[in-house]
Amino acid sequence: MNKTTHFGFKDVATDDKQSLVRGVFDSVASKYDLMNDVLSFGAHRLWKRYTIASSNVKAGDKVLDIAGGTGDLAIEFRKKVGDAGQVVLSDINAAMLDEGRKNLINNGIFGVEFVQLNAQQIPFADNTFDCVSIAFGLRNVTDKDQALKEMHRILKPGGCLLILEFSKTDSEFLKKFYDFYSFSVMPKLGGMIADDEESYQYLAESIRKHPDQETLKSMVLDAGFGFCEYHNLSGGIVALHKGIKV
Amino acid sequence: MQHFVLEQALNYLIDQGNADLSALNGKTLYFALEDLPINVNFVCTNDRIFVTTDTSAGADVDIKLKSSVFLALFQGEDLTELLRQDKIVIHGDVKTAQLLVDLLQQIDIDFEEVLSKYTGDIVAHQIGKLAKSFKASDNPLEALKDELTTLLIAPTKSKLFKNKDA
């Protein structure tokens, strides 16, 4: 019997999820930043700014940004680590990496390396990075536990993992508004702006299937991290999990 | 949010003050301020301090003290003397606690100089003067609250305007 996993609210064969996710991001890559600004009312920039501030990254550090897409985090990490450091911008999707490359050049940022990789099999040696980040990417990974183990493996002892991801809000009011917005407004905006209603329907569904804050914290600790804590942002619509490898 | 600010401040001070964290690398210190809602672990690793509310993992040492005592440590107050006066409670490896105190005391930074980059010289000097008067108080937090209240209700009676009254 074939193993299955979720793709939004649908059950699909585990082996098929990766290519389905790739299809979504191939489709939205060129409008990704614009859509993020529109759908989050610009808040994604604040969430990412908080993530960078929480990273404790300093000059000379090595940073890997997984599912880094259009390079928002990589740009800021590059400024922090300076010429003595190293930033690798990675994504499983070539179209997203291309957008990232263009975005970095447009921002005058050079010296960032680009690697197309699968978070479940990261092609770097053990204990390589001071910081690994993944922003709005983990929910698209098929085997999240395996990906977290890989992130733990490539971090140096004392290294920091940052997971910025949509999460669960406890506020009943926010929940109702967010459900209406996610399922009734977001896909329509996706259809109008990116000409792809279906991908934004997947986005809304995949957020609901993602583990809540406490479950993800347990997963991070189970992957081998010595410490993990999370901070809710915008009432828990988004959460930043921070793991420390000891 | 308090621990986020504390983490940023500590790492900034260590960085700007050229303090050497290597002796503390690999150590975890549980740190509680009795007069503020701060109960955190200082995870010293990779030449930086992470301040985390995840205190489920054991620490090498538990340190409990008041915020005024924490500030006193920055100014070179002797740990043994504070312990003798019961102003600080330490459980566990006292050597690790001493290493933290040594680190705090290595930080040689002119706060007014740092502040002046953001506020200008005059405001930084006024804030510095105010801070020094609070430090002299037995309860700096209460003194700060009183001063803020005065500033809101009767600004001319505030220490900030003291020289102008004279």
Query: Domain extents for chain A?
Result: 4-244
**Superfamily for the B2-106 domain:** SCP2 sterol-binding domain (3.30.1050.10)
**In the prediction, which pLDDT does B165 show?**
47
- Of A37-51, B79-93, B115-129, where does mean pLDDT reach its minimum? B115-129
Note whether A227 contacts B25, CB cutoff 8 Å: no
Of A54, A231, A244, the CB nearest to B43: A244
Per-residue model confidence (pLDDT) at position A36: 78
Q: State the count of interchain CB pairs (< 8 A) between A and B.
A: 47
Q: What is the predicted pLDDT for the residue at A67?
A: 93
Angstrom distance (rounded) from CA A89 to CA B83: 49
Contacts of residue B46 in chain A, CB cutoff 8 Å? 130, 156-159
- Residue B86, chain A, CB below 8 Å: the answer is no
Rg (CA), chain A: 17
Number of Cβ within 10 Å of residue B102's Cβ equals 15
Is B96 an 8 Å CB contact of chain A? no
pLDDT of residue A119: 95
Q: How far is the first Cα of chain B from the last one, in angstroms, to the nearest whole number?
A: 41
Say which residue the tokens 């920055």 belong to: B74
Count how many Cα atoms sit within 13 Å of the Cα of residue A111 in the half-sphere of its side chain: 18
Q: Which ranges in A161-233 belong to alpha helices (H)?
A: 172-180, 186-193, 197-209, 213-222
User: B45, A246: Cβ pair inside 8 Å?
Assistant: yes
Interface touch B4/A156, C-beta < 8 Å: no
Q: Where in chain B is the domain with CATH 3.30.1050.10?
A: 2-106
Superfamily covering domain A4-244:
Vaccinia Virus protein VP39 (3.40.50.150)
More confident residue, A195 or B92: B92
State the pLDDT at residue A20. 72
Tokens of B68: 């005024």
Q: What is the pLDDT of residue A60?
A: 95
- C-alpha distance from residue A67 to each of A38, A93, A191 (Å): 20, 8, 23
Percent of chain B with pLDDT strictly greater than 90: 12
- Give the A window 66-125 contacts with B, CB below 8 Å: none
d(CA A80, CA A77): 5
Which residues of chain A have a CB within 8 Å of the CB of B57? 226-227, 246
Residue B48 tokens, joined? 């930086």
From the list A54, A158, A228, which residue is nearest B45 (CB)?
A158
- Sign of the C-alpha dihedral computed for residues A106, A108, A112 and A113 taken in this order: positive
Find out whether B16 and B114 touch, Cβ atoms under 8 Å.
yes
Question: Over the stretch B29-72, which tens digit does the pLDDT of each residue have?
Answer: 998 988 888 889 999 988 899 999 888 778 999 999 988 888 88
Distances (CA, A) of B106 to B43, B47, B74, B112: 19, 15, 8, 18
Higher pLDDT, B1 or B68: B68
Residue ranges of chain A whose pLDDT lies below 50? none
Among A127-136, A236-245, B9-18, B156-165, which stretch is predicted with the lowest mean pLDDT? B156-165
Whose CA is closest to B106, among B22, B44, B46? B22
Three-state SS letters, A151-163? HHHHEEEEEEEEE
pLDDT of residue A18: 75
Candidates B4, B28, B53; nearest CB to A54: B4
Q: How confident is the model at residue B109 (pLDDT cuts 50, 70, 90)?
A: low
B111-135: burial string, b at 16+ Cβ within 10 Å, e else: ebeebbeeeeeeebebbeebbeebe
